[in-house]
Amino acid sequence: MTSRRTFLAGLMAVAAPKPSWADAGSPRWLACAREADGTYALFGIAEDGADTFRLPLPARGHAGAAHPTRPEAVAFARRPGAFALVLDCGSGALIRQLTPPEGMQFNGHGAFTEDGLTLYTVEQRASDSQGFLGIWDSEYRRLGQIETGGIGPHEVLRLPGDVFAVANGGIATDPTDRTKLNVPEMAPSLVYIQGDEVVERVALEPSLHFNSIRHLAHEDGVLAFAMQWEGEPSQVVPLLGLHRRGEAPILASAPAEEQALMQGYAGSCAFSDGEVGITSPRGNRLHRFDAQGTFLGATARADVCGLAPCPGGFLTTDGGGGVLQVTEGRARPLGLRSRSWDNHVVTL
């Protein structure tokens, strides 16, 4: 027979509120950074640009995956991945350190399913850079893996219906020092994965096979992909692609002189209310386009890379510690920190 004490304890457990992102200060975004003393941390960023929390990292962080309901984030190391830490952003506790199977390495990104019960981590096999999505359950136990159908995958993005888009960069790398091993033969691709299989694959035309597909954003059925050019440096090429399922991709560029300033490198991309932006920390530029690929304008900002949607436009972060809101190309500072923000901003 159930005792009164056991009954009351069970009742309290049911009645107790579950932790939420409010327990972590209700951040709007997450981002990794290197601080002035050389240490590294994961930060929560509020809508006004203020910090909501700081959690230390053992080394440079690249990007993260935020749980859709629980105040938990997986912080990934810059590839080749030496760590993936599951952090309680409310208490600051380390929940678990994820370790890929022997011979595999993390590649800096991951994504949860809509219900938060499954985490997918972007991985590659160290021996040949073949791509996989690692599968983890809600307690962060390894369940298995899915092939991404390409070499050197970098970012995964969840789309509606738990379809996952993966950017296969196409570059095989040395597992210890990231030396590029196959640039003459690289073959980037964009794939859509549903369940445990690739259901659609998109490749660039052969003349653009040096354009490594790296980062992703999505809005209203359009997937944006940002690219990094590995070919002849003097060649000016598109760095943004737009794709609807079942159609050919659209490649978008600024006018030639402005496009050349990007130096063949797009570090992040994001959608915001029908506009899509890409950043170049090498070119110190933010480029904005509409959803059909028409160039809307450029904003100059030194070492800008982090990019996310925010009310009225885009949020950007940069290597100088800046957090800015960009509306119709005009930048308004939200804060300046004594830190160097890393490449990406994760939207909650």
What is the span of the domain harbouring residue 241?
20-347
For the CA atoms of 299, 301, 304, 309, the dihedral, rounded to the nearest 10 degrees, stands at -40
The per-residue pLDDT for range 165-175, each reduced to its tens digit, is 999 999 999 88
| Stated pTM of the model | 0.93
Which token pair is 125? 């096999």
Q: Within a domain: residue 175?
A: yes
Rounded Cα distance between 34 and 227, Å, is 25
* Residue 13 binned pLDDT confidence (cut-offs 50, 70, 90): very low
Q: 181 in a domain, yes or no?
A: yes
Q: Within a domain: residue 333?
A: yes
Question: Is 45 part of any domain?
Answer: yes
d(CA 80, CA 43): 22
3 domain-assigned: no
Give per-residue pLDDT as tens, 318-340. Answer: 999 999 999 999 999 999 999 99
Whether 310 is covered by a domain: the verdict is yes
Residue 1 lies in a domain: no
Indicate whether 252 belongs to any domain. yes
The confidence score (pLDDT) of residue 78 equals 83
Q: How many domains does the chain have?
A: 1
- CATH code of the domain in which 192 resides: 2.130.10.10
pLDDT in tens, 218-275: 999 999 999 999 999 999 999 999 999 999 999 999 999 999 999 999 999 999 999 9
| Residue 7 pLDDT exceeds 80 | no
If pLDDT is split at 50, 70 and 90, which confidence band does 1 have? Answer: very low
Banded pLDDT at 18 (limits 50, 70, 90): confident
Across the chain, mean pLDDT equals: 93
Tens digits of residue pLDDT in 178-221: 899 999 999 999 999 999 899 999 999 999 999 999 999 999 99
Which residues in 59-90 are b (16+ Cβ under 10 Å) and which e? eebbbbbbbeebbbbbbbbbbbbebbbbbbbb
